[in-house]
Amino acid sequence: MPFKLNDELDKLVDTLARQANMERWCHRLLSELHHTLDLSYLTLLVEQEGQTRVLASWMGNEEFKYYLHPLSLTNYNGVPPEHLEEVRQTRRAVTRTAHKPFKAIWNEQSLQWQRILFPIIMHDKAVAYLYAETLSLERLTQNLAAFERVLLLIASDISVHMLREEALTHNISRRSVEAELEVRNYSLREYLSLLKQLHEVTLALAESVDLDNLYRTAITLGRKKLGIDRLAVFLTDMQQYTMQGTYGTDPDGEIVSRYSFSSDIPDHPLVHEALSRKDVVVVKENAPLYFGTQQVGTGWNAMISMWNGDECIGWVAADNLISQRSLTEHQKEIMKLFGAALGQQIVIKRSHEALTRLNAELEQRVQQRMQELQQTNKALEEANRRLEAWSMQDGLTGVANRRFFDLTLKRYWQVAARKQLPLSIIILDVDHFKAFNDTYGHQRGDVCLKQVAVTLENLAEKHEKAIFSRYGGEEFVCLLPNMSAEALSGLAGEMLAAISQLGIPHTGTREGIITISLGLYTRTPVEDAQEEVLLAGADQGLYLAKQRGRNQYFQWDDAIAVEKEYQGAHISS
C-alpha cells in the first residue's frame, strides 16, 4: 500500500510558519522534503533584485548549507542552467533523466537519476524555484498533488522572509559603515601579507632543482604560505585530452605523490571553463571534492589553468575540504598569480631539463668523437642533415616548406633539361578555406591543413623522387620528375578522391565537406626556358579549375596557351 504523506506535508507548512528566521525555515523545509519524499539533492533558489540566486542546499549526506548572501548561479555547482531557463519560460515543472548527479565530475556507476525543477508561484509570478535530484520518483509521484500544494503555500513565506531579510540587511548596513571600513583595512593588510608570502613562494619555486621538486614545493608552500586547505597539480596532454597527477594532498591534508593517477580529462562544465580561460580562477561553491575519483566531501572547488603561450599545460586544483573557510577575493587573486608563476617555472624547468639532457648527449658524443674520428665526422654530417631537414620543413603540417620546394625545383629542372625528360607539377588549393576558418575557427583550420597535407603527401610518396610541399597558406605544390601528363592526371584524380573521403565537414561548400582544386602541367625543358614556366602553367590550370566550380583539376598544356594567344591576336586584328 503506497505511503501517503498528505498529513505530514500539511504539518510541514504549519511547522515552517513557526520558524524564527530564514535559515531555520530553509533547513526545516529541505530536510523534511529529503526524508519524506526520497529527494537526495535539493537546492532552493529565490528571485532577488531581478536575478535568480541560490539561498540554500541539502546534500544526500545530511549536509545543509545556507547562504546569508544568496549566491549567483555562476558561482554555484548544482543546478542545470538549461532546466532553469525552460521553467522560466513555461512556469511549469521540468523532469529529466541523467546517468549521474549534475554536480558530479567523476561517476563510475551509471544510474537513472531524475532531475526535477519546480517553480514556486505567487500572484502568477515565480518568486522561487526548488531543484531536486533522486534515484526514485515513486514517493514524489504518489504525493505530487500534496507536494504542489506545499509549494503554493510556502510562496508567501518565501516572499515575506526575503523582504524581511533584505530590510534587516539594509538596516545593518547603515549601522556598520565603520565596521565595514575596518574589515576592508584588515582585508587590505591580509592581501599585502599574502603578496609577501607569494613572493617567497615564487622565489622558492625558481630555486627548485627539477620538475619533481618543483611540484612538491608548490604543494608544500602553497598550503603553508597561502592558507589553502588542499592543493594538487595536474599536467595535461591536450592532443590526447588526458590528465596526469604529480603531487597533491589527501583528505587529511598530507602531501602525497599522485604520479600513478592518470585519466581522460573529465567532461564537466567546471573543467571546460577552467581549461578554456587564461588568467582566471574558476570557483564553484557546493561542489563535490575528490581524492582521485572518490568523493570525500563538499565545499568550494577552484581551478587555475597553466599555459605555455596558447597551449594549456595543466592546472592547479584547490579546495576547502578541511577548514570549510570561505574563499576571499584576495585569495582568488593570489591563487591566479600563483598558478601563473608555477606554470612559468614548469616551462622553464622543462626547457632546462631538455637542455641538460641535450648537453649530456653532446658531451657523450664529444668523447666518442675524440676516440674515433671517422664516427665523429659521420655523426656531424647526420646532425647537419637533420638541421637542414628541419629548416626545410613546414612547422604546422610537417611536410616540406616553400624554401625546400624552390631549391628542389631548380635542381629538378636542370636534370630534366640535361636528360630531356618531362617534369610535372601540381598546384592545389583547399577550397573556401577562409570561410572554413571563419566558421570553425583557426584551431580547426590548422587541424584541417594537417590532415590534408598528410593525406596528399602519402599519395605523392608512392612516386619515386616526388616532392610534396606547403606553398603558402592553404596552397600546396607537388613536383614529380619523369612523369607523363597521363600519369599526372591519374594522380590528381586520386588526390581529389582521398580528400573527399576524409569527410571533413564544411558548410561553406556545395558538397558540405572540405574539397580541393588542382592545376596540372607537364613540360620538357627547352633551351632558354626557365623553371618559372612550369609554375605559371600549373597556376593557370588552378585558376581554370576554380573558375569551373572547384573540387576538380584542370590540366594545362601548351596547345591551350597557343589557342588563347591566337584568339587574342584575332580579336585585336
Helices 22-37 and 6-17 cross at an angle (nearest 10°) of: 170
Helix (H) or strand (E) holding 250: none
- SS3 per residue for 205-234: HHCCCCHHHHHHHHHHHHHHHHCCCEEEEE
| pLDDT, tens digit (0-9, with 9 covering 90-100), for 238-286 | 999 999 999 999 999 899 999 999 999 988 888 888 888 888 888 888 8
Q: Does the pLDDT at position 565 exceed 50? A: no
Predicted local confidence at residue 571, as pLDDT: 34
**CA 370 to CA 386: how far, in whole Å?**
22
Asked whether 43 and 36 are in contact (CB, 8 A), the reply is no
Distance CA 306, CA 346 (A): 9
Closest to 286 in 3D by CA, of 514, 71, 540: 71
Q: Which helix (H) or strand (E) holds 555?
A: strand 553-556
Quick: pLDDT tens for 100-121: 888 888 776 778 899 999 999 9
Burial of residue 408 (CB within 10 Å: 0-12, 13-18, 19+) is middle
Reported pTM: 0.51
Q: How far apart (Å, rounded) are the C-alpha atoms in residues 244 and 246?
A: 7
Residue whose C-alpha cell is 598569480: 337
Residues known to be catalytic? 474
Residue 340 CB neighbours (<10 A):
17
Contacts of 30 (CB under 8 A, 6+ apart): 42, 44, 56, 57, 58, 64
For 104, phi then psi, to 5°, come to -70, 135
- The pLDDT tens digits for 318-338 are 999 999 888 888 888 888 899
Q: Residue for cell digits 653532446?
A: 362
The string of pLDDT tens digits covering residues 358-413 is: 888 888 889 888 887 777 677 777 767 766 667 789 989 999 999 999 999 999 99
Vertex 347 angle, CA 200 and 305, to 5°: 80
Share of the chain above pLDDT 70, in %: 90
Q: How far apart are CA 137 and CA 146, in angstroms?
A: 15
Q: How many CB atoms lie within 10 A of CB 323?
A: 12
> Is residue 173's pLDDT more than 70?
no
> What's the CA gap between 425 and 427, in Å, rounded?
7
Give the three cell numbers for residue 9.
506535508
Rounded Cα distance between 295 and 286, Å, is 13
